[in-house]
Amino acid sequence: MSETSTSAADGPNETPPFRDRLAFDLDVDICVVGAGLAGLTVAREAARLGASVAVLEGRQVGWNASGHHLGTVMPGFGLPVADLIERVGLQDARELWALSKEGADYVRATATEELIPGISPSDGALEVSNVDIGEALISRLQALTEDFATDVEGWQVDRVRSVLRTGRYFHGIYYPKALQIDGRKYVHGLAALATRAGARIFEETPVVSIDFSGIRKRIVTPSARLRATHIVLAGNVHLGAPLKRLSDTLLPVWRYAALTEPLGERLAEAIGFPGSVADSDGIDHFRIVDGDRLLWASPETTWDARPKRFGAAVQRRIATLFPQLGKVPISDTFGGAVGVTVHGMPQIGQLRRGLWVASGFGRQGLNTSALAGQLIARSILWGDDRWRLFSPFELVWAGGTTGRVAGHFIGLWARGASAAAGVLARYREGARARERLREARLAEANLKAGTRGPAPRHPPQPAARPMPPPAPRQSEEDGKAYPHASQESERISDGRM
């Protein structure tokens, strides 16, 4: 079991309500396995549409990742948009993307002070690149705005660095309609809303086996049995015994985060951006909370470890990105396991008549679990069959223990490659600046000597340039001419966490 701890946003008197375990047999329309974001959204939506719903949670509501995340809500999936188009074609990619936006809208509509007091929503997220990829950024902006009707702004290096005072980041994509919320309040608020809609939630009730045959399916827990016409498996990587083959299609990745002590005014001097910041390699993800504290997620493992062990790693990461902050004191650490699929898309749909799956949301689970919850509830009760858009992304075995070991090394490699690319980009940037300085000095010396020296090869650059309008899409020929740009454009995630 993951050792998790709560974020500072939880007040001392805000212990979540205790819920009974299921101690009697029950008959319902829908049984949901797992009270994380996915299970609770299905339960709430199905109950709102009139179904009788029971949620069986093996531990407590939000016990895993759903109660221990950073609360950034963005459109998109773990799979980069270019890969999504390649996989399913532009038309289906557009529809899938629209669903991902509906998921984000669902969270925005639910995470209001009226429905979930203290949720504190705030706007805007920035995705930054740790390499100099202006060309790739422009083509991605074009795809997001024109093909996917998403509100985004391209930020030049100067603009990024005016709010994030580090030489590590280059260009950025600003999502004005992204938002962040208090993650723990959201999952408990969702549970309360599901209950209010009529769903019954039982804690400490692990599902140990399921008999899928027949119209009415039988669900077995240690203390009671349940019969249901539909079962929704929303247990993420911990599902285990009820359908081990399904768990085996997810690579479990434990992601860890830390909250600093209050850092005072020096934090605002280093970070002047009020929303969430995530790098395009999916390594660092952070935001300011409580005015002057940093909430920062970065380290990952493919095995379960105590989050406390990673406080120092987060401290080092912050010092690397923002050396002016020095070694920041950490007040809290937490983490959870996310389920990563081989193809990077969530598992949403019907496995066999009456048996549904909602899992594999990876590092971007807020919008995607919301879309899954809505879609499955509407499919069961209204016959909405848009979940079929996810059919091309089959359940692929994630490789078991070998997959975890491979996943670990791939993760290390990706982080190493990202660091090396960052070093190279910063070296090139430094070399360009040195060359401009040298030429300016040469021109000045020539002027003083009264001679007409050669004109500088590069005119001095203005401090800040406006973002040029999106250039026409790169042709295949261009892609070959800019091999690094095209590689980078593939690596960039779309709002990846």
Ligand X SMILES: Cc1cc2nc3c(=O)[nH]c(=O)nc-3n(C[C@H](O)[C@H](O)[C@H](O)COP(=O)(O)OP(=O)(O)OC[C@H]3O[C@@H](n4cnc5c(N)ncnc54)[C@H](O)[C@@H]3O)c2cc1C
Q: Which residues contact ligand X by CB under 6 A?
A: 33-39, 56-59, 63-66, 68-72, 206-207, 234-236, 238-240, 242, 255, 257, 297, 335-336, 338, 359, 361-366, 369, 497
Q: How far is the CB of 355 from ligand X (least distance, A)?
A: 14
Considering the complex, state which of residue 235 and residue 344 has its C-beta at the smaller distance from ligand X: 235
**Shortest CB 326 distance to ligand X, Å:** 24
Q: Are strands 122-128 and 276-279 parallel, antiparallel or unpaired?
A: parallel
Q: Which is nearer to ligand X, 96 or 497 (CB)?
A: 497
CA distance 350 to 388: 9
Residue 442 Cβ, how far from ligand X at the closest point, in Å?
Answer: 50
Contact of 171 with 488, CB cutoff 8 Å: no
The one-letter amino acid code at 216 reads R
Residue with tokens 């205790």: 18
Could you count the other beta carbons within 10 Å of the beta carbon of residue 329?
11
Nearer to ligand X, 138 or 283 (CB): 283
Instruction: Give the integer Cα–Cα distance in Å for 296 and 293.
Output: 10
Smallest Cα–Cα separation from 200: which of 463, 445, 23?
23
Gap between the terminal Cα atoms of the chain: 23
Residue of 270, 381, 385 whose CA lies nearest to 321? 270
Helix (H) / strand (E) containing 337: strand 330-340
Among 105, 118, 160, CA closest to 368: 105
- Residue 132 or 275: the one with the smaller Cβ distance to ligand X is 275
Of 164 and 425, nearer to ligand X (C-beta) is 164
Q: How far is the CB of 271 from ligand X (least distance, A)?
A: 17
Amino acid at 172: G
Q: How far is the CB of 453 from ligand X (least distance, A)?
A: 55
Residue 231 or 425: which CB sits closer to ligand X?
Answer: 231
Of the pair 136, 148, the CB lying nearest ligand X is at 148
Minimum CB distance to ligand X, residue 295 (Å): 9
Q: Least distance to ligand X from the beta carbon of 118, Å? A: 18
Q: How remote is the C-alpha of 63 from its chain's centroid?
A: 18
